[in-house]
């Protein structure tokens, strides 16, 4: 069972509680000489944006002086700066932040100095005061000066983990001092962690992320002064929000940024897990929206699992697990903190004693499907796997080897830091052999019989369960005729039999366990955004897809059931059908009809398989998707906005008819849950409309936008996400638009159908695609006009379109400052309210 979300939830509750301890603002923005701050006193910036005082980030009684957004601005506690990162105080009521000898200083309960602005008192003689500004900057000024004078010291020059708008991040050429953004050690310890961001000292004007101040694992690419972006951060092209600028002179070089709309709340932070993230506060949903994160995948962060012998799994939002035969270095950790200490051997290995014949020597654990760490030594191609193995076995510090016909024999010494499971598009990964004590390798086998027994007992128990179930149903059936559509009778329903409108079939957990062979890995069809999906076989050999929700619904069980019942009523040839559900113990499981041909992306983006999809098939798929989306928008009894329309959510049946999956998830999870999984927002970056990316605002036109992207993908056979890596056209639409402008629209069409397609149809589809991905929601057609256009024969009558959103640089759209989040917050975020028809 996946319990991570729970512990995450518990953690945030604790964190929140820690913050709910009330702070008593002393109603000033300034700490003056002979004034001091202590206990729960805080100062608040003049405009009420930021607050400064003692805070406690974790469970321990460790207090720090920090700056955070005031509750009126950002309701989620978010610290942006920490003074005494390394040395906490334990009693805030007897600790004091005050002005002393021209410095701002912090004394702990023992009256020991733990932190200071460290100015030479000679330069700051006379009285000084510390003022918290609305930018989040804490400045120290001479008491006599006014607010236009250069500060003696400012927190913006000493950032911790967050770079706020108006702040500078660069280096001082005179002192050679580089400003670093340094991650927290973990979620509850602000002490400097292993990850940091800084301006590179070479000519490229790029930012780099480093591990342990040495190992570089990401770069922003060089700064392009003409387009005001970093080459490897294409998201910055959406910079009608941010105004980045680079300043260099004989004294210093730095970047700074501002927001075009000063009312917007945004920050750039380095996470405890080594990602640099730009986050924007969504007032409508009261949460931080991840605008972009780098590296994009959590697993791409160097040594993210914290130490040796663990592997990062990119599909479960970047979580780490120990390799078989290894145990976590720490038993229990906060939140995602399986990342932390890495893993260690249960039994230590014997150094170099390879020839131990009595079976107590070392052996190798075989770990399949891994992308291998980089610090390997190559031992040539001529060697066989056997000699590769013995080289490793005979070397005292060899920890692993791998062998294949391409790279030959590879050997690793010391820590195995960056193992990760491949993503869908990374290929299959390779097998790595990790040295382990013979006893650890054997242990694995000892576990098996008990597993077998467990599985066998589930199976033998099943007939009893089913028998008991029939008995129960019989008695129930006598009492209430209409309550008879449970469990095993599902076959009739799925086969198209009549369906009782009032009921959603409910399955027992045991039936689900039996159907999926206890959620066996072999039955796993994939990992959706809401949890893994398994193939299941119900009684009478009916195949179903079983989605095991990994998150808690934001709603109570009754509301959850009500939503499910409503969604189960949505029935259309182009929607995947919800057949039933199971809510038992902690489990929430949805049962859908099974689609043998899996999802569209698997077919469309695979060079060898895409040939199966001729133009006729593609056009039918396009039409089908359009019909399905129209149905959920317009003709169903509820109005549903899908919000996550993409190729992997289009499933294909045996005859390649498209069926949309995952609709209604936003309803099931409550409005905020989708964005809450931050990786996900970035993951589907290419399908998000600008107003959604900017404001979290969605309407039917969000789905129209995503449909347009999907349409272009189907015609071109190119994956939108693939464009994301290249600098010239950040999106598929941008690329297609460049070709189209030059009269080369035909080149947009997938080569594998270019010769055989109906050219007029294909060009029409591209045109419609462009209409759908326009910047302004009002310019995009509705789904019903999309369908009219698709079915129409006269492609000359299609309306003209404007340049696609996100296609080029920031000047593609004027900044409309009237588009503030508050304008959108009421009328449009209505998805959670059923709209009866
Ligand atoms: C602070 O206190 C000292 C002694 O108590 C006094 O001499 C000084 O003038 C005070 N400063 C201010 C700004 O009030
Ligand atoms: C700020 O102080 C300086 C001298 O300290 C003075 O010249 C300037 O006029 C003052 N500005 C304002 C806005 O008070
Ligand atoms: C400086 O102070 C004056 C008056 O106190 C105020 O009007 C002005 O907005 C302040 N300027 C800044 C940059 O804070
Ligand atoms: C980081 O680097 C220092 C030397 O610069 C080294 O002593 C330390 O062990 C390294 N930390 C880790 C976690 O590898
Ligand atoms: C962007 O920032 C620079 C430097 O801070 C400023 O000069 C420029 O006017 C800003 N541009 C806009 C459009 O606000
Ligand atoms: C660089 O520093 C010197 C000495 O502090 C100063 O005179 C000069 O104006 C500075 N140059 C710039 C461009 O700020
Ligand atoms: C390995 O073998 C050598 C002698 O061949 C012995 O001295 C050493 O103690 C052995 N090491 C272990 C860990 O058994
Ligand atoms: C196996 O051999 C090792 C040395 O090679 C020895 O230390 C150990 O006691 C032996 N174990 C058994 C069960 O004979
Ligand atoms: C689709 O599924 C059917 C039935 O499983 C299979 O025969 C067919 O080959 C599949 N087509 C593709 C393109 O995968």
Q: Is 608 in the pocket of ligand 9 (CB under 6 A)?
A: no
Bridge partners, 658 (sequence order): 652
Q: Residue 706: its pLDDT value, please?
A: 94
Asked if 197 and 179 touch (Cβ cutoff 8 Å), the reply is: no
Ligand 7 pocket mutation pick from 348, 350, 352, 353 by most atoms within 8 angstroms of CB: 353
How far, in Å, is the centroid of ligand 7 from the Cα of 359?
15
Quick one: tokens of 782? Answer: 């509705």
Ligand 3 geometric centre to CA of 166 (Å): 16
Ligand 8 atom 1, closest CA: 358
Provide the b/e sequence for 143-177 (b: ≥16 CB within 10 Å): eeeeeeeebbbbbbeebbbbbbbbbbbbbeeeeee
**By alpha-carbon position, which residue is closest to atom 8 of ligand 1?**
34
Of 239, 245, 247, 815, the residue with max ligand 5 atoms within 8 A of its CB, to mutate for a pocket test, comes to 245
CA of 139 to the centre of ligand 3 (A): 14
351 in ligand 7 pocket by Cβ < 6 Å?
A: yes
Closest ligand 5 atom number to CA of residue 243 = 1
Nearest CA to ligand 5 atom 3: 245
Q: Is 817 in the pocket of ligand 5 (CB under 6 A)?
A: no
Q: What is the pLDDT of residues 479-519, one digit of tens each?
A: 333 332 232 233 333 333 334 444 678 888 888 888 888 88
Ligand 5 centroid – CA 761 distance (Å)? 45
- For ligand 1, pick from 30, 32, 33, 102 the residue to mutate: most ligand atoms within 8 Å of CB: 33
Going by CA atoms, what residue is nearest to atom 12 of ligand 9? 597
State if residue 30 touches ligand 1 by the CB under 6 angstroms criterion: no
**CA-closest residue to ligand 2 atom 10:** 146
Query: Is the CB of 377 inside a 6 Å radius of any atom of ligand 8?
Result: no
Q: Whose CA is nearest to atom 8 of ligand 8?
A: 360
Query: Domains of the chain by range and CATH?
Result: 26-158 (2.90.10.10), 310-440 (no CATH), 505-593 (3.30.200.20), 600-834 (1.10.510.10)
* Interval between CA 147 and ligand 2 midpoint (Å): 8
3-state helix/strand/coil string of 591-619:
EEECCCCCEHHHHHCCCCCHHHCCHHHHH
Closest-approaching ligand to the CA atom of 31: 1
Write down the pLDDT at residue 540. 77
Distance (Å) from CA 507 to ligand 3 centroid: 66
Query: Among 662, 654, 648, which residue's Cα sits nearest to residue 602?
Result: 648
Q: How far is the CA of 146 from the centre of ligand 3 (A)?
A: 8
Which residue's entry shows tokens 């591209």? 766
Nearest residue to 360 via CA among 270, 262, 444, 442: 442
Residue 256 CA: which ligand 5 atom is closest?
5
32 CA: nearest ligand 1 atom? 13
Residue 17 is predicted with a pLDDT of: 39
Structure pTM? 0.58
Work out whether the CA dihedral 586, 591, 592, 595 comes out positive or negative.
Answer: positive
Atom number of ligand 2 nearest to Cα 144: 5
Instruction: Give the closest residue (by CA) to ligand 5 atom 1.
Output: 243
Alpha carbon of 335 to ligand 8 centroid (Å): 43
Strand order in the sheet with 41-44: 24-25, 41-44, 50-55, 64-69, 79-82
- Rounded Cα distance between 422 and 570, Å, is 36
* Structure confidence by residue, pLDDT tens digits, 410-435: 899 888 888 888 765 555 678 899 98
Q: What is the pLDDT of residue 664?
A: 73
Of 545, 593, 596, 752, best ligand 9 pocket probe by most atoms within 8 Å of the beta carbon: 596
Nearest protein Cα to ligand 5, atom 4: 245
Residues 6+ apart with CB under 8 A from 542: 490, 491, 494
Measure the CA–CA gap between 593 and 574, rounded to whole angstroms: 12
145 lines ligand 2 (CB under 6 A): yes
In which residue ranges of the chain is pLDDT below 50? 1-21, 332-339, 354-357, 444-453, 456, 465, 468, 473-502, 671-683, 727, 808-837
Q: Which residues are catalytic?
A: 644
Q: What confidence score (pLDDT) does residue 11 get? A: 40
- Contact between 219 and 208 (Cβ < 8 Å): yes
Percent of the chain with pLDDT over 90: 25
Separation CA 718–CA 734 (nearest Å): 13
166 lines ligand 5 (CB under 6 A): no
């Amino acid at each position: 069972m996946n319990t991570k979300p729970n512990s995450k939830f518990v953690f945030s509750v604790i964190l929140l509680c820690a913050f709910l301890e009330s702070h008593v603002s002393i109603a000033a923005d300034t700490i003056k000489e002979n004034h001091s701050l202590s206990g729960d006193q805080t100062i608040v910036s003049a405009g009420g944006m930021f607050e400064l005082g003692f805070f406690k980030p974790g469970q321990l009684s460790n207090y720090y002086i920090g700056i955070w957004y005031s509750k009126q601005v950002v309701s989620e506690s978010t610290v942006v700066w920490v003074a005494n990162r390394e040395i906490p105080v334990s009693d805030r009521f007897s600790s004091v932040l005050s002005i002393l000898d021209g410095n701002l200083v912090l004394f702990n309960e023992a009256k020991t100095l733990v932190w200071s602005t460290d100015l030479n008192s000679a330069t700051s003689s006379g009285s000084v005061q510390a003022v918290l500004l609305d930018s989040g900057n804490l400045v120290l000024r001479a008491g006599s000066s006014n607010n236009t004078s250069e500060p003696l010291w400012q927190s913006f020059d000493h950032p911790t983990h967050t770079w706020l708008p108006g702040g500078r991040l660069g280096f001082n050429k005179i002192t050679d001092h580089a400003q670093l953004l340094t991650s927290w050690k973990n979620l509850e310890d602000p002490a400097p962690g292993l990850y940091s961001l800084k301006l590179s000292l070479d000519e490229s004007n790029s930012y780099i992320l480093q591990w342990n101040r040495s190992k570089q694992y990401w770069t922003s690419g060089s700064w392009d002064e003409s387009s005001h972006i970093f080459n490897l951060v294409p998201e910055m092209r959406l910079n009608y929000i941010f105004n980045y600028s680079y300043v260099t002179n004989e004294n210093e070089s730095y970047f700074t940024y501002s927001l075009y709309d000063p009312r917007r709340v945004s920050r750039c932070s380095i996470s405890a897990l080594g990602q640099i993230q730009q986050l924007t506060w969504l007032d409508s949903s009261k949460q931080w929206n991840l605008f972009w994160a780098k590296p994009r995948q959590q697993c791409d962060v160097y040594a993210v699992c914290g130490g040796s012998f663990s592997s990062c799994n990119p599909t479960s939002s970047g979580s780490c697990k120990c390799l078989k035969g290894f145990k976590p270095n720490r038993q229990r950790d906060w939140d995602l903190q399986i990342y932390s200490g890495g893993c260690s051997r249960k039994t230590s290995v014997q150094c170099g004693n390879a020839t131990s014949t009595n079976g107590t020597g070392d052996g190798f654990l075989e770990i399949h499907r891994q992308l291998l760490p980089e610090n390997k030594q190559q031992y040539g191609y001529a060697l066989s796997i056997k000699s590769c193995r013995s080289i490793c076995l005979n070397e005292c510090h060899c920890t692993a080897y791998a062998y294949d016909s391409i790279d030959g024999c590879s050997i690793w010494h010391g820590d195995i830091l960056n193992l990760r499971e491949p993503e869908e598009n990374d290929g299959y990964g390779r097998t790595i052999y990790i040295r382990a004590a013979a006893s650890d390798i054997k242990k694995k086998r000892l576990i098996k019989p008990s597993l077998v027994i467990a599985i066998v007992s589930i199976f033998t128990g099943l007939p009893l369960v089913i028998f008991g179930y029939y008995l129960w149903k019989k008695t129930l059936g006598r009492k209430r005729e209409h309550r008879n559509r449970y469990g095993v009778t599902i076959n009739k329903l799925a086969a198209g039999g009549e369906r009782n409108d009032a009921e959603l079939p409910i399955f027992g957990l045991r039936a689900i366990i039996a159907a999926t062979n206890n959620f066996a890995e072999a039955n796993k069809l994939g990992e959706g955004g809401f949890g893994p999906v398994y193939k299941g076989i119900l009684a009478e050999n009916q195949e179903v897809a079983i989605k095991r929700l990994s998150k808690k619904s934001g709603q109570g069980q009754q509301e959850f059931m009500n939503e499910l019942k409503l969604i189960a009523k949505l029935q259309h040839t182009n929607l995947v059908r919800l057949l039933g559900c199971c809510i038992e113990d902690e489990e929430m499981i949805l049962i859908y009809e099974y689609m043998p041909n899996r999802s569209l992306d698997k077919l469309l983006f695979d060079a060898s398989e895409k040939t199966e999809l001729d133009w006729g098939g593609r056009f039918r798929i396009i039409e089908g998707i359009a019909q399905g989306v129209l149905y959920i928008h317009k003709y169903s009894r509820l109005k549903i906005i899908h919000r996550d329309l993409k190729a992997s959510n289009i499933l294909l049946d045996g005859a390649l008819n498209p069926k949309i999956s995952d609709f209604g998830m936003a309803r099931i999870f409550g409005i905020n849950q989708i964005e809450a999984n931050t990786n996900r927002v970035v993951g589907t970056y290419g399908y998000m409309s600008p107003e959604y990316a900017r404001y979290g605002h969605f309407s039917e036109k969000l789905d129209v936008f995503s449909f347009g992207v999907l349409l272009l993908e189907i015609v071109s056979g190119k994956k939108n996400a693939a464009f994301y890596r290249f600098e010239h056209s950040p999106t598929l639409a941008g690329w297609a638009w460049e070709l189209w402008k030059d009269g080369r629209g035909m080149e947009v069409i997938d080569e594998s159908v270019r010769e055989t397609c109906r050219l007029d149809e294909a060009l029409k589809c591209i045109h419609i695609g462009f209409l759908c991905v326009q910047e302004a929601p009002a310019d995009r057609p509705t789904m019903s006009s999309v369908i009219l256009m698709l079915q129409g024969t006269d492609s000359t009558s299609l309306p003209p379109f404007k340049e696609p959103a996100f296609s080029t640089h920031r000047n593609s759209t004027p900044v409309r400052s009237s588009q503030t989040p508050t304008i959108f917050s009421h009328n449009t975020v209505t998805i959670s309210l059923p709209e009866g028809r």
